[in-house]
Structure 1
Amino acid sequence: MVSKEGHRSKIIKTWCGHSEDAMKPQERLAEKTFVSETERTFQHDDHLPSLPIPNLRQTLDKYLQSVYPVASSREYENTRRIVEQFEKGVGRQLHDQLLERNKHTRNWLQHWWLDYAYLYQREPIAPSLAFAGPFTISETLWPPGEGTQCQYLARYLYGVASFWCLLRRERLAPQRSRDGTALSMHQWRRLLSTTRLPGEHKDAIRAMFQTESEGCTPTHLVILCNGRLYTSPLLEPETERPLTIEEYQTILERVKEMAAAEPGPGLAALTMDNRTRWAENREYLRSLSPENAASLEVVESAVCHASLESVPGLNRDRTLRLNLCGDGSSRWADKSLTAVAYTDGYGGNYCDHSPMDAMTLVTQGWFSHLQELDFNRYGRLVVPVREHLCQPRELRFTVDERVRRDIQVARDVSRPLLNDVIIISRRYGRYGKLWIQTEGFHPDAFIQMALQLAYWSLHGRAAPTYETAATRRFYKARTETVRSCTPEALAWCRAMTSDSAVAADRRRLLRAAVDRHADLAKQASDGHGCDRHLMGLQILAGEAGLPTPDIFTDPMWKKSGGSGNFVLSTSTTGYTPCFGVTAAMVRDGYGCFYSIEPDRLNINISGFVSSQECDVNKFYDSVASSLDGMQQLMLSRSNL
């Protein structure tokens, strides 16, 4: 029996033997895009070059260029003098120490980045240290509707399990840059079977995934529902193959039925607390009984989590916000991947950001998306449910009055933080990648200039801007910052809002700004940005007990975005429908995260309700107006 599923209907066809429509392996979109028969997923990782250390003068020049748009003339000159003194004095000494450190490690930044950007942070993980995304197929093959919660979540879990199998057997094709350079796949080891463990002063990452050649690895799933936790197989124990979609759906429906009788204590709320307090509460919870310790081990070692929510998603805005924030007790915040489904079929995922960056999830999400398209086009085999695989088991915990009190305290801590987040999700449909490229622009750099103009037009000043650049061509490397707010961007924004500027000058300045951004992005990907280098020098000074160098106490350091103070925090998730979101970096700022399709843009904007300066809806309107104006500017040339 093969199920043939369209956009809004389900037709069951029965064939004797093989279907005439059965796909040949090379025709499957998911396999054609992601599966390799000749290369192993992680085979290049140990052979990648070491992360370079930029020239000190180069780094300081890049930094000064990013200060210029946000500083007055007096502020800039003062910063320039501080930078010169730093270069001649303590900065040179620290740089030499960094070069020495680099002789003894293949990635001088790896542990510093994980520790200082994530593991030393004591604030709750959600919302600022997590990211989330939607089921991108919700508005095509998975139209929301009552009664679809378990069905859609089951299909997503099948995609996760299928992706796990590719990783386990190293059949996921290693990724490469446009020039064919092999990229690090190390982060894909931490997408699944990974959790963040709280510590008194510093957390730790526990990554339990292993390939077949490396040894055993967890194969179970944990499901959160109505304040309770359950476990079930995600993979067949003997064969390590995915269960069927119908089996996942049966498991989820049985969990909902089991959990409906009475709400559980909501232990997951403890993970949303301050990290030091959660570390203390976790140890106390473990000490209450051996069963508690065993149940925690099951929760923390699971391949992934699934959350069956008791509320509807209603729309894209609300769903994205709920995916990131939840209600404070329906996410095990430490987990690397949690699939989330609401009562009306909307859903998505929540991820701890510390072990990986968003493109790992985008890869898995796009694989699942294409897999669904394959099923919809060609059908899939439906077999009877195997009852012995569909017996979810509740994880039991001994909970005393102190634990109940700690849960309430954690909720009280997290609720104001989560409720302060606002997220909107929009589609800009006038054009996308194809039109931008016909004009000779790099699509991402073009959109970055639209963000610069949008902020300038709305707020009347330049915005220090962070954009993520992947440095994965190097050994276990992750990201560098592209500082998008350049002198070239400033000149163009001024021209676009000046009545005296003519169209030809505006076009020339736009191209100069876009080209400059594209060049900076390439340099950052090559390990030659300025932020990670300066971060390393700052850490060296701190660990040596030296006074903080003036470059880092100068007001322009923070005003230009240093130490995580970027007013615009941005990132692209590439050229697919897959996208996500995280919180803005600063109270009076925006997060802007987008994907670029051939004929449209998916734009998600986050902010804070408590901000007195920022309005996410007005900012999106300004972004759309900027994109409109940029197209009109370029088209006006052909109308002359």
Structure 2
Amino acid sequence: MAEAHQAVGFQFTVTPEGIDLHLSREVLKHIYLSGVTSWRKRVIRFKNGILAGVYPASPSSWLIVVIAIMSTLYARVDPSMGMIDSIKKTLPVSDYLTVQTQTIVSAILFATGLWFSIILVLRYTLKALLSYHGWIFESHGKKSFSTRLWLRLVKIFSGRRPLLYSFQASLPRLPVPSVDDTIRRYLESVRPLLDDEQYKQMEIVANEFKKDPAPKLQKYLVLKSWWSTNYVSDWWEEYIYLRSRGPIMVNSNFYTMDLLYVTPTHRQAARAGNVVHAMLQYRRKLERGEHTPLRALGIVPMCSFQMERMFNTTRIPGIETDFIQHLKDRKHLVVYHRGRLFKLWLYYGGRHLTPSELEVQFQRIINDPTEPQPGEKMLAALTAGERVTWARARLKYFSQGTNKVSLDAIETAAFFLTLDDESHGYDPENIKSLDVYAKSLLHGKCYDRWFDKSFSLVIYKNGKMGLNAEHSWADSPIVGHMWEYVLATDCFQLGYTEEGHCNGDLNKNLPPPTKLQWDIPPECQTVIGKSYALAKEIADDVDFHGCLFDDFGKGLIKRCRMSPDAFIQLALQLAHFRDKGEFCLTYESSMTRMFKEGRTETVRSCTWESTAFVRAMEDKEETNETRLELFRKAAEKHQNMYRLAMTGSGIDRHLFCLYIVSKYLGIDSPFLKQVLSEPWRLSTSQTPQQQLNLIDIQKFPKYVGAGGGFGPVADDGYGVSYIIIGENLITFHISSKFSSPETDSYRFGQNIRKAMMDIQALFDIKTKKL
């Protein structure tokens, strides 16, 4: 074991002649290197913390200000208007602090204060500039003079070479919309879903709420927005995720797939070695804050707060609510293979294990012939079942002894890795290959992913891979950022030998991975079995279909002068109406990361304009010119709603927070109850791509990711995730439930395909006429 290997480095025995001391030079060398690495890491973090703390200024600018102020003293000019003399009078005179020294110290203190004042002015100026969102409402490719001037000012005040967290202090806070605007937009969003009588009733309830108690609730919410960093995010994390007592597998966790067409190596251990090493490189840059912050238009910064908890993070179950445990400097991961759990150290001699060393370690686990201990094989099913069941079992069976030590190893690991004994991936010859692949990543066997970890990395037997991510700590774009880095590093920097092994020399003298020990009593095994039975019932009910749409993509849509997202959302509305014969409340996720600690907002994609377009498409007597005109209006409406959501003027997060305040105050609101109980029968999300631009997909068209997806939100609805890949490919990940007679994921996929083609045909006809 690794611990035992380190322990034998220092031995002593008591003899008649005294103490006989034995020291291992090799182990002492590793201890020394580990200490050096630790201190180097602290110094780098401290340095980068200072750089981010004084941004957009720099430490060198302090020296410039000091020199400038000192120069004015020699020129007999006082830019401080007497402040330097005032500071000088407060300093004591002594043998060590002469009058001349007092003057120098006073000037340095004034210069330092002036420097900090300049930093604050720059930050608040940048914050004021970033609070302007008029640019986002302008037509694509058409920037007004004021927007061009604003962009130039933002670029000037943003400084040079920012670190990951450099802009955090300059980001504006998420504004609280007015109650009148929110209710007006809400009524507008439900109008196409209600008949006249239902809508009148909803208007009455909404107007009663607007009169009372909305003003009272709004005051508390505004007060919270002044006091807290973000008036939504902490309540969203707690009440939407952590207080949910149902299973998080399928219902909350999401997945991300590997490269679609390329498998760099078919050796499972080698792929795991490269990918884990790439993740360690990413984590090192993340902990040091060295990643480049994401910026819209390459200029407007996005909040990086969610990235902090990517590694070393676990959702810990509780009776009433879970909590997120985030640690620092975790030096191991836990590996699951054929029912066994292993602890694997990621460092050796104060450095990361190389890809080839990791490959050796993973191959040792694969070759290990031992059988799982009683209860070990399905232990992770506890994380897939009810949260209260898991919390009670954790307190009763895993709070002391061997079980506690082993569970701590899992919960404090950098992340969780599964060396899966199955083979998955996209196969053009098998229409269901993506379906099975998606289900494997979303739930697996219900006991071979640790669903509480921030993410579980899955490496399949054939070298393909994917992620299963827990949702409470962050949203999918955050995971996607790391995933893009890992894929690019794996394929284009680390690479493989001709035989498919990791590059680098082998080191077979590493201590082998440690097999975790368990003492799981029969009654606990019974609890595990019940959690597994529930999880398997949920997993078996998931109907998944992966649909590759390659008839056209972003390139053609942009030639039609359309937003690709609006085009796809309207196609989804048309497909859903054809699939079910009705419209439904539709959820599209948008981000609010232009604000500090922003997460997401909802775009209600089913609008009066979109339903008018869909009905025109289904009316055989309607002309294509009219259909196209209605499509353009619906697309413009959708784009405007998306922009409102991104700029803090959405509907649903505001109503959600008003509801939380009403519960705290004990106020019963029929309006808020009805709003929050409405089912989202069509839940959609776009997976972002090319956040880092590390792979030129024009040059390497086969090196594209397949995106990811999530489970169905409503029992009788669909979940649809889509990724716009390059210019000519869109991938749809469609989920529903087999138990619902109203849904069929494959059928819905075919309806999406037909809807996309039918909409594209409108532009073909219009183009011919032009």
The 5-angstrom pairing of residues 244-393 of structure 1 reads 244-258=354-368, 260-262=370-372, 264-289=376-401, 291-313=402-424, 315-375=433-493, 382-389=503-510, 391-393=512-514
TM-score normalised over the length of structure 2: 0.73
Alignment counterpart, residue 708 of structure 2, candidates 580, 583, 587 = 580
Distance 1:235 1:436, change over 3 A: farther
d(CA) in 2 for partners of 1:626 and 1:261? 52
Alpha-carbon offset, residue 378 of structure 1:
11
The 3-state SS of whatever aligns with 2:449 is coil
Residues 623-632 or 455-464, more deviating:
455-464
Deviations 1:401-453 (A, max 9, x none): 22211211211221111111121112100111111111111111111111111
Are the counterparts in 2 of residues 196 and 335 from structure 1 also a CA contact under 8 Å? Answer: yes
TM-score normalised over the length of structure 1: 0.87
Residues 1:611 and 2:740 are matched in the alignment: yes
The 3-state SS of whatever aligns with 2:390 is helix
d(CA) in 2 for partners of 1:225 and 1:352? 21
Q: Which amino acid aligns with 1:348?
A: G
Deviations 1:78-117 (A, max 9, x none): 1111111111111222112211222221211121101111
The 3-state SS of whatever aligns with 1:287 is coil
Q: Which amino acid aligns with 2:764?
A: L
Are the counterparts in 2 of residues 226 and 259 from structure 1 also a CA contact under 8 Å? Answer: no
d(CA) in 2 for partners of 1:368 and 1:158? 9
Alignment counterpart, residue 436 of structure 1, candidates 551, 557, 563 = 557
d(CA) in 1 for partners of 2:178 and 2:411? 42
Alignment counterpart, residue 235 of structure 2, candidates 107, 112, 129 = 112
The 3-state SS of whatever aligns with 1:54 is coil
Alignment counterpart, residue 287 of structure 2, candidates 162, 168, 178 = 168
Are the counterparts in 1 of residues 590 and 646 from structure 2 also a CA contact under 8 Å? Answer: yes
Are the counterparts in 2 of residues 106 and 475 from structure 1 also a CA contact under 8 Å? Answer: yes
Residues 1:86 and 2:209 are matched in the alignment: yes
d(CA) in 1 for partners of 2:541 and 2:423? 20
d(CA) in 2 for partners of 1:329 and 1:49? 43
The 3-state SS of whatever aligns with 2:391 is helix
Alpha-carbon offset, residue 389 of structure 1:
4.0
Distance 1:389 1:482, change over 3 A: farther
Are the counterparts in 2 of residues 153 and 339 from structure 1 also a CA contact under 8 Å? Answer: no
The 3-state SS of whatever aligns with 1:524 is helix
The 5-angstrom pairing of residues 1-150 of structure 1 reads 38-135=161-258, 137=259, 139-142=261-264, 148-150=267-269
Aligned residue in 2 for 1:11: none
d(CA) in 1 for partners of 2:556 and 2:176? 37
The 3-state SS of whatever aligns with 1:87 is helix
Q: Which amino acid aligns with 1:318?
A: V
The 3-state SS of whatever aligns with 1:569 is strand
Alpha-carbon offset, residue 345 of structure 1:
3.0
Are the counterparts in 2 of residues 247 and 390 from structure 1 also a CA contact under 8 Å? Answer: no
d(CA) in 2 for partners of 1:395 and 1:414? 24
Q: Which amino acid aligns with 2:209?
A: F
The 3-state SS of whatever aligns with 1:519 is helix
Q: Which amino acid aligns with 2:616?
A: A
Distance 1:347 1:373, change over 3 A: closer
Aligned residue in 2 for 1:424: 545
Distance 1:388 1:107, change over 3 A: farther
d(CA) in 1 for partners of 2:586 and 2:358? 43
Distance 1:477 1:236, change over 3 A: farther
d(CA) in 2 for partners of 1:185 and 1:586? 31
Write out the 4+ residue segments of structure 1 that deviate beyond 6 Å after TM superposition: 376-381
Deviations 1:558-594 (A, max 9, x none): xxxx447211111111245441111111011111101
Aligned residue in 1 for 2:639: 518
Distance 1:299 1:174, change over 3 A: same
The 3-state SS of whatever aligns with 1:639 is helix
The 3-state SS of whatever aligns with 1:296 is helix
Aligned residue in 2 for 1:18: none
d(CA) in 1 for partners of 2:463 and 2:363? 14
- More relative contact order, 1 or 2 (CA 8 Å, 6+ apart): 1
Aligned residue in 2 for 1:186: 305
Residues 1:507 and 2:628 are matched in the alignment: yes
Deviations 1:132-176 (A, max 9, x none): 1111x2521437x6xx33232333223222211221222211111
Aligned residue in 2 for 1:496: 617
Identity of aligned residues (%): 28
Q: Which amino acid aligns with 1:65?
A: E
Instruction: Tell me the C-alpha RMSD between the 2 structures.
Output: 2.1
Aligned residue in 2 for 1:212: none
Aligned residue in 1 for 2:698: none
The 3-state SS of whatever aligns with 2:295 is coil
The 3-state SS of whatever aligns with 2:227 is coil
Aligned residue in 2 for 1:452: 573
- Stretches of structure 2 that go unaligned for 5 or more consecutive residues are 1-158, 426-432, 691-703
Residues 1:550 and 2:678 are matched in the alignment: no
Aligned residues between the structures: 584
Distance 1:337 1:569, change over 3 A: same
Q: Which amino acid aligns with 1:140?
A: V
d(CA) in 2 for partners of 1:368 and 1:90? 50
Structure with the higher helix share, 1 or 2: 2
Are the counterparts in 1 of residues 587 and 680 from structure 2 also a CA contact under 8 Å? Answer: yes
d(CA) in 1 for partners of 2:502 and 2:435? 35
Are the counterparts in 2 of residues 226 and 260 from structure 1 also a CA contact under 8 Å? Answer: no
Distance 1:101 1:282, change over 3 A: same
Alpha-carbon offset, residue 309 of structure 1:
1.9
The 3-state SS of whatever aligns with 1:399 is coil
Distance 1:544 1:499, change over 3 A: same
Aligned residue in 2 for 1:7: none
Q: Which amino acid aligns with 2:175?
A: P
Q: Which amino acid aligns with 2:713?
A: M
d(CA) in 2 for partners of 1:364 and 1:416? 32
Deviations 1:204-245 (A, max 9, x none): 011124xxxxxxx11211101122211112344613x4x322
Alpha-carbon offset, residue 38 of structure 1:
2.3
d(CA) in 1 for partners of 2:491 and 2:628? 41
Residues 1:404 and 2:518 are matched in the alignment: no
Alpha-carbon offset, residue 283 of structure 1:
1.4
The 3-state SS of whatever aligns with 2:662 is helix
Are the counterparts in 1 of residues 315 and 453 from structure 2 also a CA contact under 8 Å? Answer: yes
